[in-house]
């Protein structure tokens, strides 16, 4: 853990130390979005310990919003497609990305024999 970790919520600090000891690379244990939220005091579990639904919703929502804004700025700004089409495309992109990322985290957690966030917190 680096010096900035003292700004994270206490249970996140404990989880990161556990993941460090388990050999999980920091890029998997603490992605940029999570580090920013932790510094704001949001005790969101590390994605490799989070549940499937949590990962799907968080990753999908953020990607869907980012993708929709980016597509509007780069492709559709001058043409202005129907708002329904723009929102439907953003939701579809978010759902697909969220499911892929949640499946990846579920697979990595299983391959490394790590507990879920709920199991980890109950063992403290």
What DSSP assignment string belongs to 30-97?
A: S-HHHHHHHHTT--PPPTTTS-HHHHHHHHHHHHHHHHHHHHIIIIITTT---HHHHHHHHHHHHHHH
- What predicted TM-score, i.e. pTM, was given to this entire model? 0.82
- Give the long-range contacts of residues 79-84, CB within 8 A, separation 24 or more: none
pLDDT per residue of the chain (124 residues) written in tens, 0 to 9: 554 577 899 899 999 999 999 999 988 899 988 999 899 988 899 999 999 999 999 999 999 999 988 888 887 776 666 777 888 989 999 999 999 999 999 999 999 999 999 999 888 7
30 half-sphere exposure, CB direction, 13 A CA radius: 22
For 3, residues 6+ apart whose C-beta sits below 8 A from its C-beta are none
């Amino acid at each position: 853990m680096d010096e900035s970790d003292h700004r994270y919520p206490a249970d996140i600090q404990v989880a990161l130390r556990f993941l460090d000891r388990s050999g999980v690379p920091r890029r998997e244990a603490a992605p940029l979005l999570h580090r920013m939220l932790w510094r704001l005091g949001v005790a969101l579990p590390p994605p490799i310990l989070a549940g499937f639904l949590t990962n799907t919703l968080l990753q999908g929502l953020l990607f869907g919003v980012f993708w929709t804004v980016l597509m509007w700025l780069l492709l559709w700004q001058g043409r202005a497609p129907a708002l329904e089409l723009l929102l439907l495309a953003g939701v579809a992109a978010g759902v697909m990305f969220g499911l892929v990322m949640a499946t990846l985290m579920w697979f990595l957690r299983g391959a490394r024999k790590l507990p879920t966030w709920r199991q980890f917190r109950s063992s403290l």
